[in-house]
Amino acid sequence: MLADIVVNFTHAAVVVFGLLTLLWAISVAVKDASLIDIFWGFGFLVVAAVCLYLANPKTPYLTLLAAMPILWGIRLSAYLAKRNLGHGEDKRYVAMRRRAEKKGTSEMSWRLRSLFTIYFGQGVLIMIVSAPIWVAMATGYNYDIPYDKELPIIQNPEGGLTITGGTEYIINIGVLALLGALIWLIGFLFEAIGDWQLSKFMKKNKGYDGPKEDKPVLKTGLWKYTRHPNYFGNACMWWGIWLVACQAPWGWATIFAPIIMTILLTRVSGRDLLEREMKKRKAYRDYIERTSGFFPMPPK
């Protein structure tokens, strides 16, 4: 069991960090460190795809577990690529580079350093947060009786799978997996719909050139009930994935993953970071007074 976990982790990590190195080289060529933002969801897709590839057999439970991060990764990466590509380097990375240049660091030196601090740093986070995937995908075999994974497998017409020699086992999707999948679906819809509503709002107000203090604030749709439906949805998805992982041995031990993701979304790179600047606008301060900061609730 432990050996399978190590195999999943190491193989997924090699692919993730290999792709990050390639993406970093592209970012240096085009001078745009913010390409890393598009990779965030895609990185979890890669972990799930590698673990599913290594799984033998690919049972309904393992397929369900892998499908959730894969679907999320496709949607989020496609959304961010459409939103970010062609608009130059994000202002966050421009600010980081300029601060480094003020301290005497050349642009190329900063780009090189970004490989380890930004790109590999995100890779470490991806591998930590994806722990429910690579642990449960390695241990998610619910055997009725002992099973030798080296033996050939055939389909049993009467149900289940049969190992040559007559040994039979059945893999089930239990209550925890179904509950986790439902929570994941709710989160997926919250994030997708929230992003769609935000995209429409930004497109509608793209030409606004009035005072910054009076800039319109999105407060309809899901944004009427929470200031960050996309972040809330993201957190829901990872708590859902963790619950699905709890169906497998040692899946429960990866509870640190959804906790870390929730902290990132609310305290580090998500809500609090975004609202630092937004709070300077009176309209947004009024919005804060009426609207929940994370969990959807009726507005005051």
The reported pLDDT for the residue numbered 150 is: 54
3 within 8 A of 39, measured Cβ to Cβ:
no
Residue spans per domain, the chain: 1-141, 174-300
The reported pLDDT for the residue numbered 158 is: 42
Closest C-alpha among 48, 22, 193, 204 to residue 133 = 48
The reported pLDDT for the residue numbered 279 is: 84
The reported pLDDT for the residue numbered 149 is: 52
Encode pLDDT of 63-115 as tens digits: 999 999 999 999 999 999 999 888 888 888 998 899 988 888 888 899 999 99
The reported pLDDT for the residue numbered 154 is: 46
The reported pLDDT for the residue numbered 173 is: 87
What are the residue ranges of helices labelled H in 31-164? 35-54, 60-84, 91-102, 107-114, 120-129, 131-139
Instruction: Dig out the tokens for 286 from the structure.
Output: 């009024």
- The whole-model pTM stands at 0.87
The reported pLDDT for the residue numbered 284 is: 87
Q: Which residues of the chain have pLDDT under 50?
A: 142-147, 151, 153-170
3-state helix vs strand vs coil in the chain, percent to 5: 70, 5, 30
Beta strands in the chain (DSSP E): 153-155, 161-163, 167-169
Closest C-alpha among 244, 188, 199, 233 to residue 71 = 188
